[in-house]
Amino acid sequence: MIVLLTGHRGRLGPAIVEALARAGHEVRGFDLADGGDIRDAAAIAQAARGAQAIVHAAGLADDRNGSPADIMSINVLGTWNVLLAAEANRIARVVYFSSGKSLGMLERNPDYLPMDDAHRGLPTRPYGLAKWLSEEMCAAFTQRTGIDTICLRPVAVFDAEGYERMLKGPPRPAAAGAPWHLGVHIDVRDVAAATLLALETPFRGHTRLLLCAGDIADARPTLELVAERLPQVEWRGGGEFSDDPFRALIDCSRAQQVLGFRPRHGWPGRAARE
């Protein structure tokens, strides 16, 4: 399969390129570092010619990386241009990189725990809002064109160096008045594996899938942390949190059902708590 990967030189790109190439797919890149601007509809359409799928990972990665106007323009208009390119080139599937922040993570406390893909969106900060609006646009696009759109929602993504920095640094305390980060994390290799599954799985239509490691990035058990930091939040978990004391607070069961996704990599500091 020929796959156009936008943002192939970004944080996720190299791992995705490696996973797709290893599986026998041909990857074409489109990145600002090479002069490719996703706000240029004609350039995206040209780059997509001959491709069978698009993985759209390009964009500003957080609220700190640009002005609100730039975040909305690059992340929303860029996604719209990718969708138009897919339609113009009769491409069967678009895999869009959204974020857990499309559900308002780090803006407000969750409505319930564990969080899942049915949790409400409606974020208000530019980055999360751009991701949520782009998900809605993907859904409308699939409804109109019949082209499959799979929105992957990874939480905080770490590579080996990122995990090492986190382990060497002091624990991330809960900031006064700020929502707790829930101890979420996912290894970039698992994100790349999910991308491959999203391209190869015989799925039809539109879906949105959270991606998270199976454990929490903390030395303290999950239920202890929830009782301390979010005692007012509705609890929907069960005995699985007793069986696995460090179980993640993000429910990725939809990704498992749709893609067969299971994270292979856990928090590298877990050996110290066992």
Q: What is the pLDDT of residues 217-229, one digit of tens each?
A: 999 999 999 999 9
- pLDDT of 178: 79
Measuring CA to CA, how many Å separate 272 from each of 174, 220, 246, 247, 268?
21, 11, 12, 16, 9
Residues 103 and 121: beta-carbon distance below 8 Å: yes
CA 136-141-145 angle, to 5 degrees, is: 160
Topology of domain 2-108+115-157+188-215+250-264, per CATH? Rossmann fold (3.40.50)
Domain-by-domain residue ranges, the chain?
A: 2-108+115-157+188-215+250-264
pLDDT band of residue 264 (cuts 50, 70, 90) is: very high
Q: Report the DSSP beta bridge partners of residue 97.
A: 152
pLDDT band of residue 167 (cuts 50, 70, 90) is: confident
- pLDDT of 170: 73
Residues 101 and 128: beta-carbon distance below 8 Å: yes
Task: With a cut of 90, say whether residue 155 has pLDDT above it.
Answer: yes
Measuring CA to CA, how many Å separate 61 from each of 43, 187, 207, 210, 248?
21, 16, 21, 17, 23
Task: With a cut of 70, say whether residue 255 has pLDDT above it.
Answer: yes
The pLDDT mean for the chain works out to 94
